[in-house]
Structure 1
């Protein structure tokens, strides 16, 4: 499998997503600090929570609409909103204007735009890729995202505090280029077969109704609710959803409980240098970032020769063991080893998770399912914050036990998903999991 063999839409999305991630990560990690200084910690926390909730709800609503109206039209609308919000973010932090209120409003609009784009972009990739291609695609996306995050955070650290106008202007310029690419180079990927099966008099986007707009709005809301009720009753998807929440919740512990624990508990001599807990946390993050940047693609090519069941099992065990050690150890070499372990584990299980998700979701409600999958990250983020509160009440070995339980639980549910998918479709690469 080579990059040039992929569908043109996928090649374009991978490139544009890299630059979008790069520019967004120059801004997003620092907005919390900016808002806490400008409007206070309490209000900043509330605004960030509202942003997450608005992004989540927008993704759910547009995920439903995308399965009926198509991908490109909604992506263009979302990207247009992104350009608009970033233009005014730059203006609100320019030499001619300094408006915290406008910054907050446009940051909210930018978050909504991102929430709209995410499930549609994911659905577009699934639309035009085969199962064999997805292993390569998701491995490549994992690598480009992590590289973008690294360089974006570095660029943001240099520019955000003193050169916000320049930074927002650059991000806006990138967003305009992405919009032009969407308009002229991206093609619609949703074909009629995705929604023919759901044609009914109750679906206003398949059989246009003659009733007034109020009834149309009511019909739309009812159909949307019914779609997500159906997703909640889908046992295969909910098993997968549970596995994802448990696995990703461990990752969200890294910059919360683990970072705080190292800051409070760790101090050591390492290679002749005195390092603090914050230094140790930085070392762990650097190891993770560098390993992903250097080995993700060749490592992904190698493990594709191994069965999905073996990959997900070994990957989750390594991933879990790394976080268990990070939860309690204060030995520098062991912490470094654990960083290597959880990174390798993540490189193994993450692409398989994405391929498994693509196989589980039905064609008729593809974007809606992907929007629902996005909720797993919000739930995991909530558990990450909850872990910080629990860690304040219990000793580190209790947290290690909770991490072990979560990791093994995730493995159990991922294995259940693999077996179910193998039984449903024995011709897939998951058949070895049965």
Structure 2
């Protein structure tokens, strides 16, 4: 689906999401350090465990709102909340107020995301969704690659200017949503909305998510996602420990009498940089490469490639080999992202698409919660055992995906759902 043929809603959101994510990554990697300096490391470690809980609740609430009130109201609520919290952060003279604003920023983003993902599905034919989602993933990762490098300067030297810039950009984006983006709520969801009473909104939300979480197939899908997320999170957890503790300083290039060497920490930075660069440059080609593959095969291959790439790290400390293994697990990582959102958009009923999008965030929240277990294991076992554990969870994840697709109803494969009309 050519970008020029996209709906105006999608073009505006792709631009806004890309710019905002660049600003987000200019402050997010340094926020823990900021609060550690303000409150001390022990207090900050406890405080930083709280925002993900609010984000999880916000994602569920945002998904519900997007199905009951509409995609646009949920996105407006999330975007304006972020703008106001950035302004509060910029104006604050109290670290506790800073912390409250930081929680509010994450909550606003969590409310926004399910509606945003659901709107992509509303506006995109089934056959084109992988590539459209891949384009949004590329935009988000441009910020993840370049944001931290810019933030290392701006966050510490020009923090207030950065926060005011985030406020202005988010406010402008909110106004663009208000003035230019149209509602895309499917007719089935509109019919369900007509019978809703405001006084019963909380009860209805609990009831709606109760139905989703009693969906055994969806529960297995979430469990598979939790396992593979545990593996994905190791890039920032055990892999950092392994490279800095076991990979020695070594020469990367040698030409005649000239050589270029890297320390352990620099080697880890190179691995992270390669991973980020491949994410930005590779999402679209890899998605195109696997475009004709069934979702089942892509999800299984993704889990196994990532696990195998990580497992191979345990056999060597030679940097060039580690970079090759990084390419392997990154291909597994980037092939997954567009497919997961495409699968949910197709599996979820039209009237509950936003709620399923919100509930799918559980796999990332719970996976991040359990991911640090590898660091604990590393105190008792050698690296090969820890990397073996990482590979094991990806194998279990792939087995669960096999089970999920065996349980799918025949209606999921109905050719009528592949129609171009949306």
Tell me the TM-score normalised to structure 1 length.
0.89
User: Which piece of structure 1 moves more, 365-374 or 269-278?
Assistant: 269-278
Aligned pair partner of 2:208 in 212, 227, 230 = 227
Q: Give CA-to-partner distance per residue, 1:335-394, whole Å, 9 cap, x none.
A: 111101011122223322221121121222221111111111111111212222222222
Task: Tell me which residue corresponds to 1:414.
Answer: 401
- 1:172 Cα deviation (Å)? 1.0
The answer as to whether partners of 1:7 and 1:128 remain within 8 angstroms in 2 is yes
The answer as to whether partners of 1:422 and 1:430 remain within 8 angstroms in 2 is no
Seen in structure 2, the aligned counterparts of structure 1 residues 286 and 43 have a Cα distance that, compared at 3 Å, is: same
The answer as to whether partners of 2:138 and 2:284 remain within 8 angstroms in 1 is yes
User: Which piece of structure 1 moves more, 29-38 or 312-321?
Assistant: 312-321
- 1:162 Cα deviation (Å)? 1.3
Task: Tell me which residue corresponds to 2:185.
Answer: 190
How far apart are the structure 2 equivalents of 1:123 and 1:388?
36
Structure 2 residue matching 1:49: 3-state secondary structure: coil
Task: Tell me which residue corresponds to 1:32.
Answer: 32
Seen in structure 2, the aligned counterparts of structure 1 residues 430 and 268 have a Cα distance that, compared at 3 Å, is: farther
Alignment of 1:361-376 (within 5 A): 361-376=348-363
Q: Give CA-to-partner distance per residue, 1:13-66, whole Å, 9 cap, x none.
A: 111111111111111111101000111112212222211111211221232232
The answer as to whether partners of 1:138 and 1:351 remain within 8 angstroms in 2 is yes
Task: Tell me which residue corresponds to 1:291.
Answer: 278
Q: State the superposition RMSD in angstroms.
A: 2.2
Structure 2 residue matching 1:160: 3-state secondary structure: helix
Task: Tell me which residue corresponds to 2:82.
Answer: 82
The answer as to whether partners of 2:58 and 2:107 remain within 8 angstroms in 1 is yes
Task: Tell me which residue corresponds to 1:213.
Answer: none
How far apart are the structure 2 equivalents of 1:312 and 1:50?
31
Aligned pair partner of 2:365 in 359, 378, 385 = 378
Q: Give CA-to-partner distance per residue, 1:270-304, whole Å, 9 cap, x none.
A: 22444332122111111112222223323322331
- 1:430 Cα deviation (Å)? 11
Unaligned runs of 5+ in 2: 254-258
The answer as to whether partners of 1:258 and 1:327 remain within 8 angstroms in 2 is no
Task: Tell me which residue corresponds to 1:151.
Answer: 146
Task: Tell me which residue corresponds to 2:390.
Answer: 403
How far apart are the structure 1 equivalents of 2:345 and 2:328?
27
Task: Tell me which residue corresponds to 1:352.
Answer: 339
User: Which piece of structure 1 moves more, 122-131 or 332-341?
Assistant: 122-131
The answer as to whether partners of 2:186 and 2:350 remain within 8 angstroms in 1 is no
The answer as to whether partners of 1:359 and 1:421 remain within 8 angstroms in 2 is no
Task: Tell me which residue corresponds to 1:122.
Answer: 117
How far apart are the structure 1 equivalents of 2:271 and 2:138?
18
How far apart are the structure 2 equivalents of 1:66 and 1:426?
26
Structure 1 residue matching 2:157: 3-state secondary structure: coil
Task: Tell me which residue corresponds to 2:162.
Answer: 167
Tell me the TM-score normalised to structure 2 length.
0.91
Task: Tell me which residue corresponds to 1:282.
Answer: 269
Q: Give CA-to-partner distance per residue, 1:167-211, whole Å, 9 cap, x none.
A: 111111111110111111111111331253x57xxxxx72438xx
How far apart are the structure 2 equivalents of 1:237 and 1:121?
21
Question: Is 1:206 the equivalent of 2:201?
Answer: no
Q: Which has the bigger relative contact order, CA under 8 A and spacing at least 6?
A: 2
Task: Tell me which residue corresponds to 2:240.
Answer: 259
The answer as to whether partners of 1:89 and 1:102 remain within 8 angstroms in 2 is yes
How far apart are the structure 2 equivalents of 1:383 and 1:191?
36
How far apart are the structure 2 equivalents of 1:102 and 1:207?
36
The answer as to whether partners of 1:139 and 1:296 remain within 8 angstroms in 2 is yes
The answer as to whether partners of 1:22 and 1:151 remain within 8 angstroms in 2 is yes
The answer as to whether partners of 2:117 and 2:341 remain within 8 angstroms in 1 is no
Seen in structure 2, the aligned counterparts of structure 1 residues 268 and 428 have a Cα distance that, compared at 3 Å, is: farther
How far apart are the structure 1 equivalents of 2:246 and 2:417?
43
User: Which piece of structure 1 moves more, 422-431 or 325-334?
Assistant: 422-431
Q: Give CA-to-partner distance per residue, 1:203-260, whole Å, 9 cap, x none.
A: xx72438xxxxxx3xx433322222221111112112111211112111111111101
Task: Tell me which residue corresponds to 1:110.
Answer: 105
The answer as to whether partners of 2:126 and 2:417 remain within 8 angstroms in 1 is no
Task: Tell me which residue corresponds to 1:95.
Answer: none
Q: Give CA-to-partner distance per residue, 1:113-157, whole Å, 9 cap, x none.
A: 112111121122122222112111111122111111111111111
Question: Is 1:237 the equivalent of 2:218?
Answer: yes
How far apart are the structure 2 equivalents of 1:86 and 1:8?
27
The answer as to whether partners of 1:319 and 1:342 remain within 8 angstroms in 2 is yes
- 1:159 Cα deviation (Å)? 0.8
